[in-house]
Copies of this chain bind each other. A is one copy, B any other.
Amino acid sequence: MNNFIFHSPTEFIFGKATEMQVGALAKKYSARKVMIVYGGGSVQRSGLLDKVKHSLLEAGILFCELGGVQPNPVDTKVYEGIDLCRREQADMMLAVGGGSVIDTAKAIAAGVPYDGDFWDFYIGKVQVTKALKVAVVLTIPAAGSEGSGNTVITKLDGLQKLSLRTSGILRPVFSIMNPELTYTLPAFQTACGIADMMAHIMERYFTNTKEVEIADRLCEGTLKAIISEAPKVMKEPRNYGARANLMWSGMIAHNGTCGVGCEEDWASHFLEHEVSAIYGVTHGAGLAVIFPAWMTWMVEHNVDKIAQYAIRVWDVPETGNKEAIALEGVSRLKAFLSSLGLPVMFRELGIEKPDIDRLVDSLHRNKGELVGNYVKLTRESTKEIYDLACGE
């Protein structure tokens, strides 16, 4: 096990009707004026935005608004938010939405007190040392951004999709998580969220670090919970218990609980970021295509942890050779993702002939010549994985 720091200071307020506490919580965390950040019309139509405003008013908290954040959130909205926030002198970002909204709010939070271009943080030119407070009312369990210090933004000019990981400074001070708010998510978006949270766990699980039994067991347990609850929410979107288990699993998947002391991988995420940057697909759907391809490739190159995953997560019997066990695990993962209505090859993602050379070029331009850790992937390897994602 490697040395590590675990610091997840966010206060999570989980359960029914918890969004009514947002005003009191903003006050507890010393907000004077919050900037409410949200996406499209669903938070308006559902009445959630009104509830949030009402709660803030009751607590005597001022607010301003930034709507219109898109999936695969872009830098232009961040610049708009930074300008607005400075004009309005808001001191807390309140994200009401899912990962895209939260990630935009985090980027604004880091950008406001910084003199230069906020994009400097994403290209690693400077580190975030100061940021406004971020808080969350979560509506989509998927990205895990409600419990992480991370944010992913796409620069429209050049379609560069980059992630910024901070240890603590961008973690929300509080996150309100009411599973009822996820009842009306479209089935496809629910499924994409499930693929995303599973990927967050697997990026940490597939590691060469030895003696990480507790990390392994927490990863496997969370995956098993997701696998058990996912079919329930697909069948009954208003099943509170299943929604609740998935919502909390999505947080656990990404706040650092999984993967303590492990070198992490993240190659599949980087491979996918290129796909969603260029083709505009939903991140979770892209992951459902890329991750099984990555895993299939790994069976031939570093089979051990894939076999353990097959046995412990998918209950594949421990008979035959490791490769066969591992492949059966991958096959069960694909069948599971398909059963949720997710694509597991490019074609099903609506990309008949992906421009693999362009994907590979862009990936290695953004991430260097070697990508990932479980096996460090060269251009040749990433091309093979994109090829595998085309299916048979």
User: Which residues of A, 207-221, contact B by the 8 Å Cβ criterion?
Assistant: 210-214, 216-218, 220-221
Q: Is A351 positioned at the interface, with any CB of B under 8 Å from its CB? A: no
User: How extensive is the interface on chain A, given as a class?
Assistant: 35 or more
Chain B residues within 8 Å of A350, by CB = none
Per the 8 Å Cβ criterion, residues 1-50 of A in contact with B are 1-16, 18
Contact between chains at A3 and B14 (CB < 8 Å): yes
Q: Contacts A16-B3, A217-B224, A221-B218 given: A211-B11 contact, CB under 8 Å?
A: no
* Cβ of A261 under 8 Å from chain B: yes
Q: With an 8 A cutoff between CB atoms, is A314 at the interface?
A: no
Give which listed residue, B12, B218, B221, B260, contacts A14 with CB less than 8 A: B260
User: Is the pair A241, B211 in contact by a Cβ cutoff of 8 Å?
Assistant: yes
| Chain B residues positioned under 8 Å from A13 (CB to CB) | 5
Decide: B211 and A245 in contact? CB cutoff 8 A. Answer: yes
A3 in complex: contacting residue of B9, B18, B214, CB < 8 Å:
B18
Which residues in B have their C-beta under 8 angstroms from that of A15? 1-4, 261
Quick one: which of B5, B211, B257 contacts A240, CB cutoff 8 A? Answer: B211
B257 & A257 in contact (Cβ 8 Å cutoff): yes
Q: Identify which of residues 169-203 in chain A touch chain B, using a CB-to-CB cut-off of 8 Å.
A: none
Q: Does A228 contact B (CB under 8 A)?
A: yes
- Residue in A9, A210, A228, A257 whose Cβ sees the most chain B Cβ within 10 Å: A9
10 interchain residue pairs of minimum CB distance: A211-B241, A3-B15, A221-B221, A217-B221, A9-B9, A214-B225, A7-B11, A217-B225, A6-B12, A1-B244
